[in-house]
A = this chain, B = another copy of it.
Amino acid sequence: MSTRSYAILGTGAIGGFYGAKLQQLGLDVHFLLNSDYEQVCRQGLLIESPTGSFTLFPVQAYHDPQKMPACDVVIIALKTTQNHLLPQLLPPVLKEDGVVIVLQNGLGIEPQVAEIVNSKRIIGGMCFICSNKVGKGHIRHLDYGMITIGEYQENYQPIKITPRIQKIAEDFNHAGIPTELSENLLLARWKKLVWNIPYNGLSVVLNAKTDELMNSPDSRILVEEIMREVVNAAKGCDCIIPEQFIQKMLNHTEKMTPYLTSMKLDYDRKRPLEIEAIIGNPLRMATEKGVDLPHIAMLYRQLKFLDFKNRSPDS
């Protein structure tokens, strides 16, 4: 039985769900909360899930990272738009020999975290999950749940599987969270972007769910063209994604239950969009390598316009 302690920074749809699963397994989990703090102290965390609903209670809930114990594993599950808070949140909760899992969308976040903690302490993670926070301390898990993690090295250099991520993956797998390991974090992140860039971006610009994007020949072609640009971008960064992966993502999405992307949910709630992590950073990384990405560049500017307008006082 693992004795690793976990800190969850951001107890929302992702952090709340995975943290609750780890605590259910009997691990020592500490949750940082903001607006839901009082509710979760009193009533615990309610997790609805097709794999079994439950209320986690009591919860080791905190409102102030200074009051949290330093932990072996810190999971960053904030929206990337909150990452400006990390210099305050992260150092107090990380043991000297602990690790940070950046369980966030997009690309280029690990180098930012490496400005706060030593890059040797950083692991990257991606989750493939449909999960929403539907109320205070109330998380609705809809589908999927797999995680991929990989060690981060400076400039996303590939690196062999280490014993420490194997042990973390064991915790996750025991907790019922299917977890894969990757020797190439950058490739794993680019692969996820093949889905994330077109669907997140177009769902906001075209005000559409995934099924609408798949059913119209015009948006379907756009999705595919943008996917092709992501594959080219990855290639420019020495990450080879096979051409068939595009068709696989299209087929997969066609079979999915109609889905509002996380970016569209944020947009509808007038929250800041994760434009930089999901689109801006990948765009810049590939552009620096000389790859031309006109569709993604246009999508990026459209989203920045819409995000700004969406959160302007008179919108």
Contacts and interface: CB of A to CB of B under 8 A. Distances in A.
A271 interface: no
A305 B306 CA distance: 18
Given A294-B294, A294-B295, A295-B294, A301 B218 contact: yes
B205 A301 contact: no
A309 interface: yes
A251 interface: no
B295 A298 contact: yes
Contact of A219 (B219, B299, B305): B305
A247 to B, nearest CB: 19
A304 B208 CA distance: 13
Contacts of A207: 309
Contacts of A305: 206, 208, 216, 218-219, 222
Nearest to A294: B294
A308 B216 contact: yes
A142 interface: no
B302 A221 contact: no
A212 interface: yes
Given A205-B205, A298-B295, A298-B298, A218 B309 contact: no
A305 B220 CA distance: 10
B295 A221 contact: no
A301 B225 CA distance: 11
A308 B215 CA distance: 12
Given A216-B308, A308-B216, A206 B294 contact: no
B212 A309 contact: yes
Of listed A219, A294, A305, residue having the most chain B CB within 10 A = A305
Interface string A170-182: 0000000000000
26 contacts: A205-B302, A206-B309, A207-B309, A208-B305, A208-B309, A212-B309, A216-B304, A216-B305, A216-B308, A216-B309, A218-B301, A218-B302, A218-B304, A218-B308, A219-B301, A219-B305, A221-B301, A222-B298, A222-B301, A222-B302, A222-B305, A294-B295, A294-B298, A295-B298, A298-B298, A298-B299
